[in-house]
Amino acid sequence: MQYQAPVDAPVVDPFRPPTTPYGPGNRGIEYDTIPGTPVRAAGDGRVAFAGWVGGELHVTVIHPDGIRTSYSFLAELHLVRGRGVDRGDLIGMTGPRLHVGARRGTTYIDPASLWGAEGPPLVELVPLDGGGGRVLDPVPSWRRTHVTRRPV
């Protein structure tokens, strides 16, 4: 699966994963955009949500590889829930800022790790003791057929 950055703008607040589930950090990327900048879909997928949350417009897209991207603080929406999108399709227009997030399951990932031809990196779990203990696959069995695995 290929992804691209949704806007061509500088990053003013990069991904900073929290150390605890409710801890401080930035679970996405904050872009320095001019209001009215077109926001494009990072990858092919289907719109899971498009609407108002807390007085702000947001869009969430589910991609075939199981990753969800979100686009927050929009001034305009150009999509509705359930619609299919292709990479580069217009999602909406920015408001005073743009926040882009990405999740694999319930884990937030750095959206910038998706941009480019290689897509998201493969994360391989290994035992802490370096031994031959069993490593549990973090991908549920029902989703394994939809995950593209790439070497790092």
Instruction: Assign 3-class secondary structure to 85-147.
Output: ECCCCEEEEEEEEEEEEEEECCEECCHHHCEECCCCCCCCCCCCCCCCCCCCCCCCHHHHHHC
- For the stretch 89-113, pLDDT in tens is 999 999 988 999 999 988 888 998 9
The domains found in the chain, sorted by start residue, are 11-146 (2.70.70.10)
45 pLDDT above the threshold of 80: yes
**Model's pTM, two decimal places?**
0.73
- For the stretch 51-65, pLDDT in tens is 999 999 999 999 999
